[in-house]
Amino acid sequence: MAKGKDGKTVVESLGDFLREQRLASRLSLRQLSEQVGVSNPYLSQIERGLRRPSAEVLQQIAKALRISAEQLYVRAGIVSPVAHAVSSVELAILADVGLSERQKQSLLDVYSSFLASNAGPEPESPHQMEK
């Protein structure tokens, strides 16, 4: 699992962030779990960094806490923070209810690999190739 600058895994830092947001919203763990539609123990495991939630669960948590789902996707490592902006392609993939979690992750991986390969070295201009 990837470690952040502070030595915590992505899931641990996501859990810390979710706990902070829940407390700021003055919600108990039980209240939030009811709003999100997940069990209290499962939500507790997410906050403690023991579980990695799906994009759907993150979307429901974001809705209940009234925060950006995109921000949670980045914090969870589902979407890469490219200049702190999430592309509409990534959001469309994550929002598609017709895809399984595995399919969504596969599509996101393929998309990010295409972006990485396109960001490679600049192609030679026609003038440089003639020399």
Residue 126 resides in a domain: no
Provide mean pLDDT across the span 98-119: 84
pLDDT at 77: 78
Structure tokens given for 31: 């209240």
pLDDT at 2: 44
Domain hosting 23: range is 10-120
pTM metric for this prediction = 0.59
Residue 127 resides in a domain: no
Residue 30 resides in a domain: yes
Alpha-carbon gap, residue 39 to 13, rounded angstroms: 21
Structure tokens given for 98: 């017709």
**Percent of the residues in the chain that have a pLDDT greater than 90, as a whole number:** 31
Residue 129 resides in a domain: no
pLDDT at 38: 95
pLDDT tens track for 2-47: 444 545 555 678 899 899 999 999 999 999 999 999 999 999 999 9
Provide mean pLDDT across the span 56-76: 87
Residue 4 resides in a domain: no
Q: What is the CATH number of the domain that holds 92?
A: 1.10.260.40
Q: Using the predicted structure, report yes or no on whether residue 125 has a pLDDT greater than 50.
A: no
pLDDT tens track for 68-106: 887 788 888 777 766 445 677 887 888 788 888 788 888
Residue 5 resides in a domain: no
Continuous segment of H or E residues that includes residue 14: helix 10-24
Residue 89 resides in a domain: yes
Structure tokens given for 85: 């902006």
Q: Using the 8-state DSSP alphabet, how is residue 6 labeled? A: T
> How many structural domains does the chain have?
1
Cβ atoms 51, 95 nearer than 8 A: no
